[in-house]
Amino acid sequence: MATAYLEEVNPWEAQVARSDLAAKKLKLDEGLWKILREPSLEIIVHIPVQMDNGTLEIFTGFRVQHSIDRGPSKGGIRYSPTLTLDEARALASRMTWKCALVNIPFGGAAGGVICDPDKMAKRELERLTRRYTMELIEVLGPEKDVPGPDINTDEQIMAWIMDTYSMHVHHTVTAVVTGKPLELGGSHGRNEATGRGLMIVCDEALKRLSMNRDQTRVLIQGFGNVGSNAARLMHRRGYKIVGVSTSKGGLYNKNGIDIDALWMYHKRNSTLIGFPGTEEIDSEELLVTDCDILIPAAVENQITSRNADRLKAQILCEGANGPTTAEADDILADKRVFVIPDILANSGGVTVSYFEWVQDRQGYFWPESEVNDQLDHTIRTSFAEVLQYAERHAVNNRIGAYMLAIDRVAYTLRQRGIYA
């Protein structure tokens, strides 16, 4: 791959390209930005795991804490064969800005293990998760660093983390992770929260652009936690979902897909392919297919300098973290695409994670309607604040979102006097 393209798709470079620009527009003091820009702690662990066939394997894992200035650090655990430290750094720093944007008292963290869960047995994954947790035991905790789910990690993995931590401290500590099963201190609405947040920001964007929901065609890349929940909720609200994809391929029907039926089909067959009444479409092709809203909800670097000029969508709503490169941003701006940046669009997940943490610490659990109402309020408020900020400073939505978030964290740092 050409060096320039490799730089374009490096997650950390892509992340700091935007935050550096936002800090510059804010005219932030250089020294202060030096503190805010870099992660405060980076841990690499090499974890021995006994495999089911008796052999020993060593897996490499990371945990990056970007900031603890506004509260404990918070962020996902990702299991992926291609995970890198730069990816974890980028995710951790993005979480700092995301939490500040929705104004919840967390800093950002991220981590995970280089592994391929598709090729591992459940017991192997459990041993890996428990050992990874033990390696990090001193830095985790409800007041320190609170992991949550991300790619290839689910509520079972969160339950194992919670159990391992609790055994170590000799009492049950539910607030050490979020995204847990309901019976173990999870929150109603957490599973769908990121997808619900995507729907709320799309509703708000339609209002801004005077578009009609029932005539709005949506394409969604990714049918995991984020993509499938967004598809289901948006389908029920009246959006026309015309295409979806997973890493195994995608489907398209210009008249709309019955997402409830597809959900059941995907559950039964672990693939979308073969679902009746649709044509197959390549996942890359799906991104440049005609639609009104495009929701990348899979992995990084899907919209780059190589395909951004071919996008047809009027609205790009970023379900995934980092689906668009900084180079692609410029092309999308020229095309006047309305971008709802990841740190706003997918912030529903961490918002309800915050509600889960609050409920765990109170020992008092809210009904689902309360969770959804509070989420709705938080996301709509943040959407309005980002647009106002972007308009006031004559920048695009992404840079507006970063400016607002960086401004909030910088303010906290000045108030605390760290920067005295």
Please give the residue ranges that form the binding site for ligand NAD (CB under 6 A): 149-152, 194, 221-227, 245-247, 283, 297-299, 319-321, 346, 349
| Structure tokens given for 152 | 């290839």
Q: What's the closest the beta carbon of residue 33 comes to ligand NAD, in angstroms?
A: 25
* Residue labelled with tokens 């979480």: 95
C-alpha to C-alpha distance for 416 and 199, rounded to whole angstroms = 36
Q: What's the closest the beta carbon of residue 327 comes to ligand NAD, in angstroms?
A: 19
Q: What's the closest the beta carbon of residue 225 comes to ligand NAD, in angstroms?
A: 4
**418, 68 in Cβ contact below 8 A?**
no
Q: What's the closest the beta carbon of residue 420 comes to ligand NAD, in angstroms?
A: 35
Query: C-alpha angle with apex 193: 41 to 129, nearest 5 degrees?
Result: 45
By CB atoms closer than 10 A (0-12, 13-18, 19+), residue 215 is exposed
Phi and psi (nearest 5°) for 189? 85, -5
| Structure tokens given for 182 | 């309901």
Tell me whether residue 73 or residue 225 sits nearer to ligand NAD (CB atom). 225
Q: What's the closest the beta carbon of residue 315 comes to ligand NAD, in angstroms?
A: 17
Tell me whether residue 181 or residue 224 sits nearer to ligand NAD (CB atom). 224
Tell me whether residue 32 or residue 110 sits nearer to ligand NAD (CB atom). 110
Tell me whether residue 343 or residue 410 sits nearer to ligand NAD (CB atom). 343
**280, 250 in Cβ contact below 8 A?**
yes
C-alpha to C-alpha distance for 148 and 140, rounded to whole angstroms = 12
Q: What's the closest the beta carbon of residue 221 comes to ligand NAD, in angstroms?
A: 5
Tell me whether residue 26 or residue 321 sits nearer to ligand NAD (CB atom). 321
Tell me whether residue 64 or residue 320 sits nearer to ligand NAD (CB atom). 320
Q: What's the closest the beta carbon of residue 123 comes to ligand NAD, in angstroms?
A: 20
Tell me whether residue 67 or residue 321 sits nearer to ligand NAD (CB atom). 321
Tell me whether residue 23 or residue 289 sits nearer to ligand NAD (CB atom). 289
C-alpha to C-alpha distance for 302 and 323, rounded to whole angstroms = 5
What is the CB neighbour count within 10 angstroms for residue 126?
Answer: 18
DSSP conformation letters of 246-301: ETTEEEE-TT---HHHHHHHHHHHS-STT-TT-EEE-HHHHHTSS-SEEEE-S-S-
Q: What's the closest the beta carbon of residue 413 comes to ligand NAD, in angstroms?
A: 25
The residue with its CB nearest to ligand NAD is 224
**320, 297 in Cβ contact below 8 A?**
yes
List CB contacts of 378: < 8 A, sequence separation 6 or more. 102, 103, 104, 351
